[in-house]
Amino acid sequence: MPLDQSAKNMKLHKHLLCFALFCSTFAAAQPANDECDNAIHLNNVTNYCSATAEFTIEQATESNPNNPSCWPQFSTGNDVWFSFTAQATQVNISVSGNTGGPGSGGSLLNPQFALYEGSCSGILTEIQCASDGFDFNVAESLAGPLNLGQKYYIRVAARNNNVGTFKLCVNNFNEIPDPSSDCKSGVVLCDKSPFNVESVVGTGNETNEIINGSCINEEHGSAWYKWTCDEPGSLTFTLTPNNPSDDLDFILFELPNGLDDCDNKIELRCMASGEQVGAPFSVWQPCTGATGLSEAATDVAEFPGCQAGDDNFVSAIQMEAGKSYALIVDNFSNTGSGFAVEFGGTGTFLGPEADFIPEFDRICEDVPLTITDNSTAVSGIQKWEWHFGDGASPATAVGEGPHTVSYSTPGTKSILLQLTSMAGCVITHIEEIEVTPAPEVSIETSADYCDPGVSSGDIFVLLEEAVPPVEYEWNNSGVFVSDSFLLDQPAGNYTVTVRDSFGCETPLDFVLLEGLALQPGSTPVQPPTCNGDTDGSITVNIEIANDPVTYDWGSGPQPDNTLSGIGAGLYSVTVTDATGCSGTFNFDVEDFPVLEPNLDAVDISCFGEQDGSIIAEPVGGAGNYTFLWSNNSTKEGIFNLPEGIYTLTLTDGNGCAVISSAEIVEPPDLVLDLVEIGDVVCFGDTTGFISVAGSGGTPPLEYSIGGQDFQPDPTLNGLSGGTYSVVVQDARGCRDSLSATINTPPPLIVEAGDDQTVELGYTVNLHAVHTPPFHPVTWSWTPPENLNCPDCDDPVARPVETTQYVITIEDEAGCRSEDSLTVFVVKNYPVYVPNAFSPNNDGTNDRFTLFGGPAVEQIRSLKIFSRWGSMVFEGYNLQINNPAQGWDGTFNGQKMNPAVFAYVAEVAFIDGEVIVFKGDVTLVR
């Protein structure tokens, strides 16, 4: 019998409507970068910086990934996402907000970010994190090594749930090789990219390659860099020491015959200015810190010290194309610390050009793509490293190629080439292609009725994903048409090839069966109202049949076309009409998903507040939810809640309801108690401490002085005397504080007294006094030599040289004080020699000797000669002022006649000086 054409039209309309909905869905606009899936992709991340305030986290929502490791708890707030494909091994990321001044990045306060690798739809692994906890309003960090060609994600937010605009900077660069201390093995630079040298140690195998430098003639800790000029123009650079106190020097050379011509290098600029020894810092301050070449400078060399007009910079040079240059940076301070380098000027450095040509910029899945290298390098190419991106086969390759690759997954693919020249330069290049998925389709058929004289089968291609417009080739006809269906077809084998607008194809083979068919547009299954109910039903309406029709639901044929009172499950029915034409139909009766309210409760932040909240995020059921809370609110969430238990009755569109409760907990009162105060031991030092104990709140607890630089240890050390505000803070930012005073003892002071002057050999009384005057102390004078009491307050000193005496006192607590005075010694050497003596035993002038003051140590020798030169007396090591050891006027026991005799005496003094005294003495009887 003929088919009902209106039914066929209804069926055709249904499938065309589905296609129209598919097309409109495909054309929907992309959302903002609020979620990882919609991250803004940064194509060129070599020194990339957005415009000021170009991005914002206002109106953004919090993402699902766990809180990054360096972000404070409970302060993730709004976040947005960015992505980039690694073109080099290192990346520097900075997010700047309201930094103040003309360089401010936007309005955001306390920015923070995290860097991830992985997939938005899979696992994201944190590899770097930065958070501004010091109110600088900028967050910056360096990460690496990165995997070339891999996609990375940047998540930007702010502390304390702040919102606002910001500036994002991303610099993806290759790490410069470690520095060499020899010119011949110096690092070859390919471009003017800035870089940082962590440390510089030693002078290499050739320990001094600058012996003839105009301002430097010795290496201390050196690093050599070389390059060849590509485009001519000016060259400037700035060298900034990592250790601010380091003194960096440098010489810039021309290498006349190329990069390896270190033996014939020609000096162009020389810089060695620095400390002016003996002068105050204000004189040589201009010669400290950063150094380099500057357009503003006019001199070509600055010499050691800091002369008038020196500023640590010499004039820029004009580079010439093809010429090679070398720079030695020498750390005169020799601390081992490195430096940062930043180049400027209009000239460029010669480096390799990485380039390649993909055969197509758009291909289909599993279709081969040929990639041809087009790179150049003056010095030749040493190595090609290819990274073809996600889903590529092969994933990587080496060598020039050409290379053939295919992709098993769709999307934007980044093909990366890293090139290494013979000179050691490393550079990368990326090209992107689009891989389009083959159309995803399915087939729906309506069986051909059993009447051999009538063809009544229908075939429909259902598009699930494809790029329109889409064409169809039916039964290998060689002709593609726009019709996605065939009507009134006989039973048999069929083929269809579906091709999208990019030429990607999906072939399908299927069979159109003979038998009964369901009425088009019908909805046989009525699912149970609520999950687990048994009020579902199946009603079967046949498109064409000859009455009477029977329905076998598993218990034998019956006339009822409806199976009711059923729950979820698989059901089958065999339908047979009067001619014996039959069809078996299978149905999957599905429950609505379990209705779940998913209550997200946020407890009260701090004791005494009423800022708890509960938000329902329902899933399951039939949708179209309504809410009724125990506080009579009908909103999805309830806010500003005090402590308590709150109940929600959640109802879906079918009237199914579920009741769930959540508790809002108020944390215990955060209290800070004083445990102990440790006063300062000695005046002016930082040995004081305050020990406190926090309780309540939400752990973990942290402690600080003045609310800055929190620490987990409740004992705050290293404090000087004074009154402090001690703050405890819990995990939610709640605080309590107390005031504590650390006492300081009075200053311990000793005064040595005024400087004194004394003649050699005489004594001087020293007397020190201290305050507090009756505070017990120990005394120690240095040097202790020539003091009768080095451990008392008033020793007697008998110095032999001008001496500075230092008095140090120390009390029982170990506090010390010192002062000094100088005793100036006047070097007088007075000695009295009598010119006559009378050895007549009358007790007066009976013997001849020398007399002197306390400066004399001894008479080292005394010799007396007659007028004919005969020695009549000699004595050694005689005491001064002791006539008993002198000459008694005899020779060999015989009294000498009155006469004039000559004497020679060596007198030693206590300061080591020896003086010879000569003269005549008359013997009188």
The pLDDT tens digits for 81-140 are: 999 988 888 888 989 999 876 568 899 999 999 999 998 888 899 999 999 877 888 888
pLDDT, average across residues 348-374: 90
Helix runs in 344-405, H state only: none
Calculated CA dihedral for residues 143, 148, 149, 153, nearest 10 degrees:
-10
pLDDT at 103: 63
210/236 same-domain check: yes
In the Cβ-directed half-sphere of 189, how many Cα atoms lie within 13 Å? 23
73/153 same-domain check: yes
Place of tokens 């069979």: 511
In angstroms, the CA 585 to CA 570 distance is 11
pLDDT at 27: 34
Tell me if 294 sits within 8 A of 314, measured CB to CB.
yes
Q: Is residue 518 one of the residues assigned to a domain?
A: no
Tell me if 874 sits within 8 A of 904, measured CB to CB.
no
pLDDT, average across residues 849-856: 95
Q: What SS3 class is residue 287?
A: helix
Tokens of residue 526, six digits: 């009525």
Angle at the Cα of 357 from the Cα atoms of 355 and 359, rounded to 5 degrees: 165
Short-list 85, 91, 86, 81, CA closest to 40: 81
Tell me if 424 sits within 8 A of 411, measured CB to CB.
no
195/308 same-domain check: yes
Place of tokens 């125990």: 630
Confidence of residue 77 (pLDDT cuts 50, 70, 90): low
pLDDT at 73: 65
759/803 same-domain check: yes
Share of the chain above pLDDT 70, in %: 95
Domain end (from 809, 826, 843): 826
Tell me if 418 sits within 8 A of 147, measured CB to CB.
no
CATH of the domain at 800: 2.60.40.10
Domain end (from 297, 323, 344): 344
Tell me if 877 sits within 8 A of 781, measured CB to CB.
no
Domain membership of residue 753 as a residue range:
749-826
pTM tops 0.75, yes or no: no
Tell me if 395 sits within 8 A of 414, measured CB to CB.
no
In sequence order, what DSSP letters do the residues of 388-416 get, joined into one string? Answer: --TTEESSEEESS--EEEEESS-EEEEEE
> Residue type for 747, please?
P
Q: For the chain, what is the domain count? A: 9
pLDDT tens for each residue of 819-852: 999 999 999 999 999 999 999 988 899 999 999 9
Radius of gyration (C-alpha) of the chain in whole angstroms: 50
303/240 same-domain check: yes
pLDDT tens for each residue of 471-528: 999 999 999 999 999 998 898 899 999 999 888 999 999 988 888 888 877 889 999 9
For residue 583, pLDDT over 50 is answered with: yes
Give, in order, the Cα–Cα distances in Å from 64 to each of 67, 108, 122, 151, 155: 9, 22, 12, 19, 11
pLDDT at 115: 96
Instruction: Decide the pairing of beta strands 291-294 and 233-241.
Output: antiparallel
pLDDT, average across residues 720-736: 93
pLDDT, average across residues 5-31: 39
642/692 same-domain check: no
Domain end (from 780, 800, 826): 826
For residue 9, pLDDT over 50 is answered with: no
Tell me if 765 sits within 8 A of 798, measured CB to CB.
no
For residue 18, pLDDT over 60 is answered with: no
In angstroms, the CA 396 to CA 388 distance is 6
217/327 same-domain check: yes
Q: What SS3 class is residue 681?
A: coil
CATH of the domain at 915: 2.60.40
In angstroms, the CA 638 to CA 640 distance is 7
In angstroms, the CA 610 to CA 626 distance is 25
In angstroms, the CA 291 to CA 239 distance is 5
Q: Is residue 305 one of the residues assigned to a domain?
A: yes
Confidence of residue 208 (pLDDT cuts 50, 70, 90): confident
Task: Give the single-character DSSP code of 591.
Answer: P
pLDDT, average across residues 63-72: 81
- End-to-end, the C-alpha distance of the chain in Å comes to 183
Element (H, E) at 7: helix 5-26
Confidence of residue 76 (pLDDT cuts 50, 70, 90): low
In angstroms, the CA 470 to CA 505 distance is 10
In sequence order, what DSSP letters do the residues of 439-486 get, joined into one string? Answer: PEEEEEEEPBPS-TT---EEEEEEEEE--SS-EEEETT-S-EES--EE
**CA max distance for the chain:** 184
Confidence of residue 75 (pLDDT cuts 50, 70, 90): low
Could you count the other beta carbons within 10 Å of the beta carbon of residue 188?
A: 22
Beta strands per DSSP E along 43-164? 48-49, 55-56, 80-85, 90-96, 111-118, 124-131, 138-143, 151-158
pLDDT, average across residues 641-662: 96
Element (H, E) at 281: helix 281-284
Give, in order, the Cα–Cα distances in Å from 316 to each of 210, 271, 348, 724: 21, 12, 14, 53
CATH of the domain at 703: 2.60.40.1080
In angstroms, the CA 525 to CA 566 distance is 11
Left, alpha or beta for 482 (phi > 0: left; psi -120 to 50: alpha)? alpha
Q: Is residue 520 one of the residues assigned to a domain?
A: no
pLDDT at 701: 94
Identify the weakest region by mean pLDDT among 21-30, 161-170, 171-180, 809-818.
21-30
Q: What SS3 class is residue 293?
A: strand
Instruction: Decide the pairing of beta strands 313-315 and 291-294.
Output: parallel
Residue 48: Cβ-neighbour burial (10 angstroms; 0-12, 13-18, 19+)? middle
In the Cβ-directed half-sphere of 509, how many Cα atoms lie within 13 Å? 2
Q: Is residue 178 one of the residues assigned to a domain?
A: no
Tell me if 886 sits within 8 A of 849, measured CB to CB.
yes
For residue 24, pLDDT over 70 is answered with: no
For residue 605, pLDDT over 80 is answered with: yes
Give, in order, the Cα–Cα distances in Å from 237 to each of 201, 234, 240, 810: 22, 10, 10, 55
pLDDT, average across residues 233-237: 97
Tokens of residue 285, six digits: 């301050």
Short-list 683, 600, 680, CA closest to 646: 600
For residue 698, pLDDT over 80 is answered with: yes
In angstroms, the CA 515 to CA 581 distance is 6
Phi and psi, residue 864, nearest 5°: -125, 135
Q: What is the mean pLDDT of the chain?
A: 89
pLDDT at 874: 95
For residue 451, pLDDT over 80 is answered with: no
**What percent of the chain is helix, strand and coil (3-state, nearest 5)?**
5, 45, 50
pLDDT at 338: 85
Q: Is residue 594 one of the residues assigned to a domain?
A: no
Q: Is residue 421 one of the residues assigned to a domain?
A: yes
Calculated CA dihedral for residues 290, 295, 300, 305, nearest 10 degrees:
-30
pLDDT at 312: 93
326/232 same-domain check: yes
383/417 same-domain check: yes
Task: Give the single-character DSSP code of 206.
Answer: S
Tell me if 45 sits within 8 A of 170, measured CB to CB.
yes
Short-list 908, 898, 904, CA closest to 919: 904
For residue 64, pLDDT over 80 is answered with: no
In angstroms, the CA 520 to CA 37 distance is 39
726/859 same-domain check: no
Give, in order, the Cα–Cα distances in Å from 400 to each of 190, 356, 397, 418, 459: 20, 10, 9, 11, 51
For residue 13, pLDDT over 60 is answered with: no
211/265 same-domain check: yes
Could you count the other beta carbons within 10 Å of the beta carbon of residue 80?
A: 27
Share of the chain above pLDDT 90, in %: 62
pLDDT at 102: 58
Give, in order, the Cα–Cα distances in Å from 578 to each of 174, 275, 557, 779: 81, 114, 12, 129
Tokens of residue 50, six digits: 């957005």
In angstroms, the CA 602 to CA 595 distance is 22
610/719 same-domain check: no
pLDDT at 178: 77
Q: What SS3 class is residue 224?
A: strand
pLDDT at 447: 83
